[in-house]
A and B are shown apart, each in its own frame.
Chain A
Amino acid sequence: MADDKDVLRDVWFGRIPTCFTLNQDEVTEREAEPYYLLLPRVSYLPLVTDKVKKHFLKVMKAEDVEEMWLEYEGTPLKWHYPIGVLFDLHASNTVLPWSITVNECWTQIRLHINDNNFPDRDLLHCTSNSVIEAHFMSSIKEADALKHKSQVVNDMQKKDHKQLWMGLQNDKFDQFWAINRKLMEYPTEEGGFRYIPFRIYQTMSDRPFIQKLFRPVSPEGNVHTLGDLLKEMYPAALPNDGEQKRYQVVIHGIEPLLETPLQWLSEHLSHPDNFLHICVIPTPTD
């Protein structure tokens, strides 16, 4: 039987084949070739699209472009969601590679006309990697507040925090997990974390995601499962008796069984930001 450690590697090294194409409306000097890349599921779009940017800059006037934003079938992709979550939420059950449209916005337009094509309503601006780093670290701190009352993350040194971030940024599994394992520890007698850091995403709602307090073990000592979580947070996601399954519950592109213990999921299928990101999507009709 394979070891649980292998799950961590599989999660970390999950890749989505992606085809980037430039938005037809963009003004280019010559025809832009599509660009193909394997995107890490656990990373964030701005961290992995330097190559894309470089590729399309070749056909554009470089000084014009200040920021790039991406969309899939007309939906702007939020850079602060992990890539895997974006894919599972919007594009699972579609043909690979994942086809992402690249939009560029021009400095002049945004600054002077204040009427550019940037979807301000949907997206946050991401001007540098330090914005992502701040977002990523605040997620880790939030998760540890839920798991250990922030005790673990506060005990860490600055360089440990840096190592987590560098590990993610440079795709260094060992470097990341050398520190992250401390965040995944818990006292054996308690049987799990204080609360499970999770977020439930859905396509059909305007709410960004569901996030509430939920313990891994019930007051009676029962282990909480994925099913227990959904029953409380999102009962509609569960199939009724005898009914066709209407929704898929997807984590990292797979559908774990509802009886999977939540604590185990949190330890093994959390993203590097230490949250368990769960996507509830409609079952494909075909």
Chain B
Amino acid sequence: MPVSLLWAVDVYGRVYSLSTAGQQWEQCRDAQMEFKRVTAAQQCCWGIACDNNIYLNVHASDLPVRYQEETYENQRWNPVDGFSDRLLPSDRWQLSDVTGLQHQPLDNFRLPSSSWEWEGDWYVDENFEGEPTEKEGWSYAIDFPATYTKDKKWNSCVRRRRWLRYRRYKAMDTWAKIPSQQTTLPDPFSDISCGGWEINEEPRGRLSLWAVSLQGKVWFREGIYHHNPEGSLWEEVPLPGEVVQISCGPGDLVWAVLWEGQLIVREGIGRDCPKGTSWAMVDSPSPDVGATHVAVGVNVVWALTKDNKVWFRRGVNSHNPCGSGWISMVGEMIMINVGLNDQVLAIGSEDRAVYFRQGVTSSELSGKTWKVISVPRDGDRSHSSASSLVSDVESDTEKGSTDGASCIITSSSPESFVDAPTEHSDQPIETPKSRIPKVTSDSFISELVSDRGPGKTSREVRSAGPASVGPLDPQWSNVDLEEAQGQQAQTGAVVDTADTSSLSSVATFTLAMEDPYGVDEHPMWAWVSGGGCSVDSHTQLNWFNSMVQSVQSMSLSVTPAQTAAWRKQIFEQLSERTKREMDNFRHYEQAIEQSVWVKKGTMQWWRDWKPHKWIDVHFALEQFSGPEGNKDGILFIYYNFYEEKKYLHAFVNEVTILVPVLNDSKHSFAIYTPERTKQRWPIRLSAATELEMHDWLALLSVSCCDSRGIQGPPSKQAIWSITCKGDIFVSEPSLSLEAMPYPTPCDQMFWRQVGGHLRVVECNSIGIVWGIGYDHTAWVYTGGYGGGFFQGLASSTDNIYTQVDVKNVYIYENQRWNPVTGYTNRGLPTDRYMWSDASGLHECTKTNMKPPSPHWTWVSDWTIDYSVSGGTDKEGWQYAADFPASYHGHKTMKDFVRRRRWARKCKLTTTGPWQEVPPIPLSDVTILPCAAQSSVDVVPLWAISNKGDVLCRLGVTALTPAGSSWLHVGTDQPFKSISIGAASQVWAIARDGSAFYRGSVSSQSPAGDCWYHIPSPSKQKLKQVSVGRTSVYTVDENGNLWYRQGVTPSYPQGSSWEHISNNVRKVSAGPLDQVWIIADKVQGSHSLSCGTVCHRLGVQPLEPKGQSWDYGIGGGWDHITVRGNSMEPPRVHLPSLTERTPLPVRNTEINSSAVGC
């Protein structure tokens, strides 16, 4: 889990954040003034400050917020001047937008706010649809508007080119004021809530921001997304009443509280309409007491009533946003908030502490208990010893209850509310008693509630109080502003003496008076926002016991244990003991002789002969010590064949891999030997329970490793691969794996599993390994081994962490058109199932579809997937003439069928030697295969974010494989694949299928200087690239493998693509220029396999393309990387080769850098 932040405001308006990994509230020092409310998303936090302006704090990320401005320069040809900017009167502007309708001269572009800066000046885009143009970037056409081509033709009468300029959002990690919209905003804001990021992923980083003004109007901020974090304008949303408070969930839930105590629910929110269409009314949970506060999540609504009671709304989901009924919950709260994963936070009405709702899971959304978050704030007095803090905390509580806190209790107790209106109107002087100086949001609410009455009286009350309640009349806003300005000078000193003009607050707040800096009191919170705080019921939080002692004990047992002196001492002494007691006595006889050990069990076996079916078998593993003390074993499968007892056996030292094959019906696994790999027909066994299967797998795996003398973590040279299930396997390359002319056959490679779940893994030869999950999370290998089902001895104690992955399961809804009823789910008898998988062959309905294996659990409901290649209409439909065909996103006359894709998210939690590299999700990563001379040398690592940004990781060394930060490398279009060769050659593939070479990458300039466009092989769109020592290989979308011809150090871009093979899914070129692929369709003697690891044979310096393929493990493999294996094979003297040495100069140069590692 990445570290994320919980935001809160205390009653003095100070903003704090608490990290999910932290144990103290960090004050946001940057805030120049006090805040009333904050609302957080993962990428930013919005707030209302006491000047009633809205502020935005965008969290710094390695991915800059860049906005591309563009304008088109248009020219027409005339016989006199040739092409010139003299256009016809009917033509477009000389500088216009892409449609030609908008006049857009370069100097018309302005920065939207002071938070932006220009990155550089305007320049001409010299690429056109993925192809480099002739000089100056012009594209030509017969007339405006028309189809443009990059070549000038005889009839090209007009031309245009695109000018680009980037601006960058610079106000990162700081509160930047959102410029106000003077004309349409008559009154200041009093509440704000952001959410809605799950409604639509496009445009990236889209947020809904809802705000409430003091007059009870609701506003929606338009146009907030990654490239425009501030949004563009406020739009008023019509209302059935006056709103006090609003809450917007991550999905499509938006609820608000009306002055009268009812709730309203926004309906019609969806992909195309994030603002929604109408309101529905929901009554207050309690008939007598109105609601004061509401908080919504994805599938939950929590509310508070005026008596501080907590309510949970039953049956809420996106189809029924209103839910079905209220349930009363325990606790008395003054404010409540729902964070990510429907986790709940609240502020207690008496103690003003922040509470976390424990035990909230997707099946138990209401959780179990309230747990107080009790961590100190960074401003709290630093305590030298544990005991002093404990006693301080105790005395503070006492103090609080005797003087300070008592008044808060009265202020929020129901009695005082009931009395309040009369008191207010009769004796306005007394009301401030129930307030806290520098009142922020919460008391604002209580005031709104208590002041429900004629507008005039409430106005009087306000003018009598010292509160920073937003102004209804100008006088009050002035006072607030003055205070705020006065306090900007004394940063940190927040308890304002200005406020003491009100006698009552002096009287009640002796505590604050005693200590003007207010650092020593029990923290009292006013507002909390969990919208950026990614926790779930499994997250281990250190928020709840903040006694310094427990902090100490935790740090003692967790962090320095590995380096502790006692541990070192034990290791040293044990090795001394071995020397002392054993080294001189090795010739003595052992007291206990080793013998055979047998483990037996029953399983089912997928019979080798037809008809294939599962039959019951007895399974036994016999282990024994070989003559040289090495362990070995034999597997036996005893079965009945026509009443006759027979058995099948395999030597443990011949087993090459154990592959778990989990599906929803069987807990099965496959055992391969070299022979079985050739046949493409493993021994398939199935255990009765998952636990039993894991026990067997763990035992067999240890036994296989023992027989081969393999233990501990994989070596730096290891070859990593991943199956289509996301399981990770690693193989230790033998010296002769790349030997010439007789390499080790790759069906003899031994693979062992490593815990974790990944889609992509990349490594290099100094042991740096990165992975990318199905949910695009980046992971770095920790140096451990085991995890997953490996427990006990097969797994390292350290460096094993929880790993979570999320993926989508897709089903298709298919419909056929008929003239009477239009599209219906009544197909032809010959048609596919109306609910099916992608092939249409299997029926898959929303209800019968299960997660891929028992390890996965659903974490969302079925939703329409709009991100299907070919595009969709507004309801997600794709049209075609018939099944199966190519689909397009709009209906034409010829279309008679349509389909749409439904997606449902499922989540897997496992363990493995992986640690997350937050925060940017990736789609590809590459590590320089060979370069570092020592462990502190920086190793180049490049990646592509899942949005297509090119990134370069800084600070990656063998000791710090995770690196420190991302450097963004600008591109004019999104990319999808990247690879860096041993001599720092960086190649990448853009989303449009063309290749790019990055110029001038070196250790001095790790990000290089510019991209050189390399056209793709004709009519093919490339999808992946891998660069070895010198060779460059790419794979296109039709499964062709291409080799780049003519690459030399002086001309690194090469000259042309040469076709090597088809049926290729992925390629990995290593530091020896070795080439490995994942191939589709490999025929074995018993069966055909898709997704097979293959090794290119005959690759030599003078024949880098190799000769033929050798087939290894598969099918079902998805990814391989051989970029760690830099072990030069033993040289075999072949006369023809030795004559040709020395190699040409250009090769030896590159060689030298590769040999260095």
Interchain CB contact under 8 A, B570 and A7: yes
**Given A5-B796, A171-B592, A221-B549: A257 and B578 interface contact (C-beta under 8 Å):** no
Interchain CB contact under 8 A, A7 and B588: no
In A212-246, the 8 Å CB interface with B consists of 217, 220-223
Q: Give the complex CA separation of A177 and B584 in angstroms.
A: 28
Q: Give the complex CA separation of A80 and B565 in angstroms.
A: 34
In B1025-1075, the 8 Å CB interface with A consists of none
> B566 contacts the other chain (Cβ, under 8 Å)?
yes
Interchain CB contact under 8 A, A254 and B792: no
Q: Give the complex CA separation of A48 and B590 in angstroms.
A: 9
Q: Give the complex CA separation of A240 and B541 in angstroms.
A: 41
Interchain CB contact under 8 A, B591 and A51: yes
B641 CB contacts on chain A under 8 angstroms: none
**Complex: chain B residue closest to A49, CB-CB:** B591
B710 to chain A, nearest CB (A): 14
In B530-569, the 8 Å CB interface with A consists of 545, 547, 549-550, 552-553, 556-557, 561-567, 569
In B790-808, the 8 Å CB interface with A consists of 791-793, 796-798
A248 to chain B, nearest CB (A): 12
Q: Give the complex CA separation of A107 and B574 in angstroms.
A: 43
A78 CB contacts on chain B under 8 angstroms: none
In B570-603, the 8 Å CB interface with A consists of 570-571, 573-578, 580-582, 584-585, 588-592, 594-595, 597
Q: Give the complex CA separation of A264 and B702 in angstroms.
A: 25
A255 CB contacts on chain B under 8 angstroms: 573
> B699 contacts the other chain (Cβ, under 8 Å)?
yes
A252 CB contacts on chain B under 8 angstroms: 574, 577
> A119 contacts the other chain (Cβ, under 8 Å)?
no
A172 CB contacts on chain B under 8 angstroms: 597
B580 CB contacts on chain A under 8 angstroms: 96
**Given A1-B562, A10-B578, A178-B792: A48 and B591 interface contact (C-beta under 8 Å):** yes
Q: Give the complex CA separation of A38 and B588 in angstroms.
A: 6
Interchain CB contact under 8 A, A43 and B591: yes
Q: Give the complex CA separation of A221 and B545 in angstroms.
A: 10
**Which of A12-20, A143-151, A270-278 lies at the interface with chain B?**
A12-20
A106 CB contacts on chain B under 8 angstroms: none
Interchain CB contact under 8 A, A51 and B589: yes
Mark contacts of A252-283 with chain B using CB atoms, 8 A cut-off: 1 yes-contact digit, 0 otherwise. Answer: 11111101110010001100000000000000
In B780-796, the 8 Å CB interface with A consists of 791-793, 796
B589 CB contacts on chain A under 8 angstroms: 36-38, 51
- Interface majority SS on B: helix, strand, loop or mixed? helix
Partner of B588, one of A2, A36, A175, A259: A36
B1071 to chain A, nearest CB (A): 28
Interchain CB contact under 8 A, A174 and B702: yes
Q: Give the complex CA separation of A37 and B556 in angstroms.
A: 42
Query: Which of A6, A38, A169 is the most central at the interface, judged by chain B CB atoms within 10 Å of its CB?
Result: A38
> A197 contacts the other chain (Cβ, under 8 Å)?
no
Q: Give the complex CA separation of A163 and B796 in angstroms.
A: 23
Q: Give the complex CA separation of A5 and B711 in angstroms.
A: 12
Query: Which of B570, B573, B797 is the most central at the interface, judged by chain A CB atoms within 10 Å of its CB?
Result: B570
**Given A3-B796, A14-B577, A38-B582: A222 and B591 interface contact (C-beta under 8 Å):** no
Query: Which of B545, B584, B591, B595 is the most central at the interface, judged by chain A CB atoms within 10 Å of its CB?
Result: B591
A127 CB contacts on chain B under 8 angstroms: none
Partner of A256, one of B570, B588, B702: B570
Partner of A39, one of B549, B566, B591: B591
B597 CB contacts on chain A under 8 angstroms: 166, 170, 172, 175
Q: Give the complex CA separation of A172 and B592 in angstroms.
A: 10
Interchain CB contact under 8 A, B566 and A221: no
Interchain CB contact under 8 A, B571 and A170: no
B133 to chain A, nearest CB (A): 57
Interchain CB contact under 8 A, A4 and B797: yes
Q: Give the complex CA separation of A222 and B561 in angstroms.
A: 15
Interchain CB contact under 8 A, A5 and B594: no
**Given A171-B594, A260-B570: A222 and B549 interface contact (C-beta under 8 Å):** yes
**Given A17-B581, A17-B585: A7 and B569 interface contact (C-beta under 8 Å):** no
Interchain CB contact under 8 A, A191 and B565: no
Q: Give the complex CA separation of A122 and B679 in angstroms.
A: 67
A170 CB contacts on chain B under 8 angstroms: 592, 594-595, 597
In A98-148, the 8 Å CB interface with B consists of none
**Given A5-B797, A39-B591: A254 and B577 interface contact (C-beta under 8 Å):** yes
B797 CB contacts on chain A under 8 angstroms: 3-5
**Given A16-B581, A175-B597, A177-B793: A4 and B550 interface contact (C-beta under 8 Å):** no
B105 to chain A, nearest CB (A): 65
A182 to chain B, nearest CB (A): 9
> A82 contacts the other chain (Cβ, under 8 Å)?
no
A7 CB contacts on chain B under 8 angstroms: 570-571, 574
Interchain CB contact under 8 A, B553 and A191: yes
Interchain CB contact under 8 A, B556 and A261: yes
Q: Give the complex CA separation of A47 and B547 in angstroms.
A: 51
B557 CB contacts on chain A under 8 angstroms: 191, 223, 261
B552 CB contacts on chain A under 8 angstroms: 222
Interchain CB contact under 8 A, A254 and B793: no
B549 CB contacts on chain A under 8 angstroms: 220-222
In A6-54, the 8 Å CB interface with B consists of 6-8, 10-11, 14-17, 36-40, 43, 47-49, 51
Interchain CB contact under 8 A, A2 and B581: no
Partner of A5, one of B386, B561, B793: B793
B573 CB contacts on chain A under 8 angstroms: 254-256
A8 to chain B, nearest CB (A): 8
Mark contacts of B667-707 with chain A using CB atoms, 8 A cut-off: 1 yes-contact digit, 0 otherwise. Answer: 00000000000000000000000000000000100100010
In B258-303, the 8 Å CB interface with A consists of none
A264 CB contacts on chain B under 8 angstroms: 561, 567
Q: Give the complex CA separation of A264 and B561 in angstroms.
A: 10
Partner of B793, one of A10, A171, A174: A174
Q: Give the complex CA separation of A115 and B655 in angstroms.
A: 62
Partner of A260, one of B547, B562, B566, B590: B566
Partner of B798, one of A3, A10, A169, A222: A3
> A158 contacts the other chain (Cβ, under 8 Å)?
no
A33 to chain B, nearest CB (A): 13
A169 CB contacts on chain B under 8 angstroms: 592
**Complex: chain A residue closest to B545, CB-CB:** A221
**Given A5-B793, A177-B793: A222 and B553 interface contact (C-beta under 8 Å):** yes
**Complex: chain B residue closest to A253, CB-CB:** B577
A48 CB contacts on chain B under 8 angstroms: 591-592
A252 to chain B, nearest CB (A): 7
Query: Which of B557, B571, B592, B792 is the most central at the interface, judged by chain A CB atoms within 10 Å of its CB?
Result: B592
A166 CB contacts on chain B under 8 angstroms: 597
Partner of A217, one of B553, B571, B594, B792: B553
**Given A217-B553, A261-B556: A47 and B592 interface contact (C-beta under 8 Å):** yes
B903 to chain A, nearest CB (A): 35
Interchain CB contact under 8 A, B569 and A38: no
Interchain CB contact under 8 A, B565 and A257: yes
- Given A48-B591, A171-B594, output 17 extra A-B contacts at Cβ < 8 Å: A1-B563, A3-B712, A4-B797, A5-B793, A8-B793, A10-B574, A10-B578, A14-B581, A40-B592, A170-B594, A171-B590, A174-B702, A174-B706, A223-B556, A256-B573, A260-B569, A264-B567
27 contacts between A and B (CB under 8 A): A2-B571, A3-B796, A3-B797, A7-B571, A14-B578, A15-B581, A15-B585, A17-B582, A36-B588, A37-B589, A38-B590, A39-B591, A43-B591, A51-B589, A170-B597, A174-B702, A175-B597, A178-B793, A222-B553, A223-B553, A252-B574, A256-B573, A259-B566, A260-B566, A261-B557, A261-B561, A264-B567
Chain B residues at the A interface, C-beta cutoff of 8 Å: 386, 545, 547, 549-550, 552-553, 556-557, 561-567, 569-571, 573-578, 580-582, 584-585, 588-592, 594-595, 597, 699, 702, 706, 712, 791-793, 796-798
Q: Return the 4 tightest CB-CB contacts between A and B, nearest first.
A: A17-B585, A254-B573, A48-B591, A260-B566
